[in-house]
Amino acid sequence: MIDSVLMEPFSKLREQGMMKIKEEKENGQKVVGMYCTYSPQELILAAGAYPISLCGTKQEPIAAAEKVLPQNMCPLIKSSYGFAATDTCPFFNFSDLLVAETTCDGKKKMYELLARYKPIHLLQLPQEQASPQSRELWFQEVQKLKERLEQELEVEITPDKLRAAIKLANRERRALRNFYDLNQHIPAPLTGLEILTVSHNRGFYPDKEKVATMLEELNAAVKAGLEQNKHKAGPRILLTGVPVGLGSEKVIRLVEELGGTVVCQENCNGYKPVDMLVDEDENKDPLEAIAEKYLAIACSCMSPNPGRYELLGRLVKDFKVDGVLDLTWIGCHTYNVESYSIKKYLDEQFSLPFIQVETDYSSSDTEQLRVRIEAFLEMIQA
């Protein structure tokens, strides 16, 4: 656990981002909202707009969403829609355009309904990554997004603007990856909740240069105090599976209340999107470089999905983990089905203790989860 003084700027970053965007919108600044790590933020930056994360990690708006959406649908989808339907996400209101993606059937049909509230550009994502046809299709989708941004925002996105945006986004990715890597140290200096607070809140602040600088300063401060870190070392847990945000962090909280430490989060709001940088080669088409990086993201919507296994294998070794917790939201079929193969891979390659937890955003099953997670941690320690 790091000094609360170091964490304070990140704890306030979401609220500060809201105030900054409100002020900038009054001066004509454009904002583009994003729901997924497949949305290429470099194009938005090159268009002179703010790329901003949108709300979708809390239980409160789900009841309103269930008036329209099925109750047995993924809570992330219901929460995202509920925030829009109840007009309770300020970042949604600030957005001039939403960038969405066809990662799953539930999301793409929900986006059809969401289009009643805001203009949406839907990226048609290939379902596999290796073939030339998929790469060409995705490049065309990225090209279409560029053209839509130019049209909606009345700007020209030049190669030079794209290259500058690539360097800025890579700087933030590199700083965030270095932050995550601090937990390769034993004992880990960061709790899973601290990691989540930083990764979640920085997505709501529009100034990427400021965020990168803050991360670099935080990394230097934590690194300087590594040898003085006296954090009690419990089981080192790697979290994989669905994305988690503040408001849906109950499983991370339970692990750490019971004595474990979530030293690494492989998921969409953790290591996965920062593992690979966009190629900065000046001789390469920057649009092609952007397309390559984003298509390589190892989401369970891809079939097959070898990148997830390769990344998990590296993280298991680099972070010296004692066990893996695979989190699945109820109704998320791709991650639920893939859990079987992930367990098999981790057992055969590393003989690691593994648990799959299937839940939603509510607190109704908290005590049941507590019993299961406590038994899992006790098995590791035994």
pLDDT in tens, 79-132: 999 999 999 999 999 999 999 999 999 999 999 999 999 999 999 999 999 999
Among the listed residues 138, 157, 154, the one whose alpha carbon sits nearest the alpha carbon of residue 146: 157
The answer to whether the beta carbons of residues 60 and 85 sit under 8 Å apart is no
Assess whether the region 4-159 and the region 161-381 belong to the same CATH fold: yes
Fold that domain 4-159 belongs to in CATH: Rossmann fold (3.40.50)
- Dihedral of the alpha carbons of 317, 321, 354, 378, in degrees to the nearest 10: 150
Per-residue pLDDT tens for 199-218? Answer: 999 999 999 999 999 999 99
Distance separating alpha carbons of residues 245 and 51, to the nearest angstrom:
18
Report the candidate in 309, 326, 323, 329 with the shortest Cα–Cα distance to residue 259.
Answer: 323
What is the overall mean pLDDT for the chain? 96
The whole-number pLDDT of residue 309 equals: 98
Residue 6 has a pLDDT of 83
Query: Which pair of tokens denotes residue 66?
Result: 């269930």
Within 13 Å of residue 2, how many CA atoms lie on the same side as its CB?
A: 28
Torsion of CA 323, 215, 45, 89, to 10 degrees: 70
Domain boundaries in the chain?
4-159, 161-381
pLDDT above 90: residue 4: no
Residue 42 C-beta-side C-alpha neighbours within 13 Å: 32
Q: Which CATH number fits domain 161-381: 3.40.50.11900, 3.20.20.70, 3.40.50.1010, 3.40.50.970?
A: 3.40.50.11900
Write out pLDDT tens, residues 125-174.
999 999 999 999 999 999 999 999 999 999 999 999 999 999 999 999 99
